[in-house]
Structure 1
Amino acid sequence: MTAITATHPPEWIVAEGRTPYAEALAAMEAHVAAIRAGTGRERVWLVEHDPTYTAGTSAKPEDLHDARFPVFAAGRGGQWTYHGPGQRTGYVMLDLHEPHGTVPARDIRAYVHGLEEWLIRALDRFNIRAERREGRIGLWVANRATGGEDKIAAIGVRVTRWVTWHGIALNVDPDLSHFGGIVPCGISEFGVTSIHAQGVPATMDEADSALRAAWNEVFG
């Protein structure tokens, strides 16, 4: 049998409304199993969640300062992350047995680098310069007021038998005060920002369009 993933590009699904986090976890797990079995198509699933704190496998209990929102063990790599309205969460389910654009097969480090590049190119469409930083997960932009840097996007992945799940979280226009209940990704000395906080009043649809266009440049 020829696997679906070998003959079709990933399907793009944009969820309407808000997707419960537990529902998203269950749906991802089921679809990853289908991809592994060769019966499911690779997928990029764009969702919005209600305010939620999620703990990665390296999360420290003391980095949860205020459990004002539901808390979930995500099962992905990384530490604490906030998801909520105004943030675009992208769940990426790819079969890394095969190369994808600039990402070679069976190379998790290159895959994460590809996710970073995807976000960098998407944000560049709004004239926002996001950059990687050694030793810090996510994408960072300059804070002109403080002279420091703020995080604009987070990355957390899981790979099961070379099929990826979880993915990215891009701050379009979330309530940035909601990040105060956690130490985002275990990094306390830097702040968080968003596309709107950078002075760009982009809509979620515009952010989705930028992500779609940039995807083809990296993974296409």
Structure 2
Amino acid sequence: MIPDPATPPFAISEGLIPYAAALDAMAARAAAIRDGTAGQVVWMLEHPPTYTAGTSARREDLTDARFPIHEAGRGGQWTYHGPGQRTAYVMLDLNRTHGAVRPRDVKAYVTGLEEWLIRALDRFNIRGERRDGRVGIWVRHPRTGGDAKIAALGVRLSRWVSWHGVALNVEPDLSHYAGIVPCGISDAGVTSLHDLGILATMEEADAALIAAWSEVFGEVQAAEAA
């Protein structure tokens, strides 16, 4: 299911990958990384329209179950995945140092994912920011003047191997978010590159993510199996 990386450690899938199939593939790859039989990978893909529930999701925050629902097993609350959104599942052995990310340091790892997204957005002249008490990457929306989330983040660790990851809104249908309270936050919006007037292609978004990666996580080789 997870293709071989074309630009280590990045593997990019074409088409829409069902969420359940992606969960199975991630779990298998994480186990293989722990066992030393597969290399680390950042799997980049798109899903069909899907609502996913993290371990803190509240049922009342699902307001319109118009799309399939999946228990994700990651941290966080409700999230939407769909076409036009670049989802990147990051499977790393966190027993090792990765650039600025120290081994076995969950906070440093999450901070690294945030910094990766911020640096990728900077390549489009978008100022992505953290917000105290709010997960993900945010921008000040030029039309509303309020906060809007442009990228989501949710992680899971299995014996210090990471899976799940981040989702960057490139050109999704933002009306699809209306069926949930994203991440349990009702007083802020969602946005995308296209909504902000940056008409980037998915390939251009991928190029920005790939270019920003080594600035935070260093060089990660795909084939590290023993």
Same fold (TM over 0.5): yes
Distance 1:166 1:143 in 2: 27
- The Cα shift of 1:146 comes to 2.2
What is the CA–CA distance in structure 1 between the aligned matches of 2:193 and 2:145, rounded to whole Å? 18
1:181 corresponds to 2:150: no
What is the SS of the residue equivalent to 1:185?
Answer: helix
Deviations 1:22-80 (A, max 9, x none): 00000000000000001110000000000000000000000000000000000000000
1:214 corresponds to which residue?
A: 212
Amino acid at match of 1:165: W
Aligned-residue offset at 1:148: 1.1
Distance, in Å, in 1 between the alignment partners of 2:157 and 2:186 is 27
What are the equivalent positions in structure 2 for 1:54-93 lying under 5 Å apart?
54-93=52-91
Distance 1:147 1:199 in 2: 15
Aligned residue for 1:105, secondary structure, equals coil
Distance 1:211 1:133 in 2: 21
Higher relative contact order (CA 8 A, sep 6+): 2
Q: Does the 8 Å CA contact 1:10/1:41 hold for their aligned counterparts? A: no
Amino acid at match of 2:150: I
- Equivalent position of 1:127 in the other structure: 125
Q: TM-score, normalised by structure 1?
A: 0.95
Q: Shift of residue 12 of structure 1? A: 1.3
Q: Which amino acid aligns with 2:85?
A: Q
Cα deviation for residue 10 of structure 1 reads 5.1
* Whole-Å separation in 1 of the counterparts to 2:8 and 2:38: 10
Of 22, 25, 28, which residue of structure 1 is paired with 2:26? 28
Secondary structure in structure 1 of the residue aligned to 2:51 = strand
Counterpart secondary structure, 2:165: strand
Q: CA RMSD in A?
A: 0.9
Q: Which string of whole-angstrom CA distances, capped at 9 and with x for unpartnered residues, describes residues 134-174 of structure 1?
A: 10000000112222110000000000100000000000000
Structure 2 distance, partners of 1:36, 1:93, is 10
5+ unaligned residues in a row in structure 2: which ranges? 1-6, 219-226
Query: How many corresponding residue pairs?
Result: 212
- Alpha-carbon distance in structure 2 between the residues aligned to 1:10 and 1:105: 20
Q: What is the identity percentage for the equivalent residue pairs of Structure 1 and Structure 2? A: 69
Report the equivalent of 1:3: none
What amino acid does structure 2 have at the position aligned with 1:155? L
Give the 3-state SS of the residue equivalent to 1:179 in structure 2: helix
Equivalences for residues 1-220 of structure 1 within 5 A: 11-220=9-218
Per the alignment, in what secondary structure is the counterpart of residue 16 of structure 1?
strand
Taking structure 2 as the reference length, the TM-score comes to 0.93
4+ residue runs over 3 A deviation: none
Distance in 1, matches of 2:81 and 2:143, equals 26
- Gapped runs of 5+ residues in structure 1? 1-8
Q: Distance in 2 between matches of 1:39 and 1:104?
A: 23
C-alpha separation in 2, matches of 1:120 and 1:175: 22
- Give the partner amino acid of 1:133: R
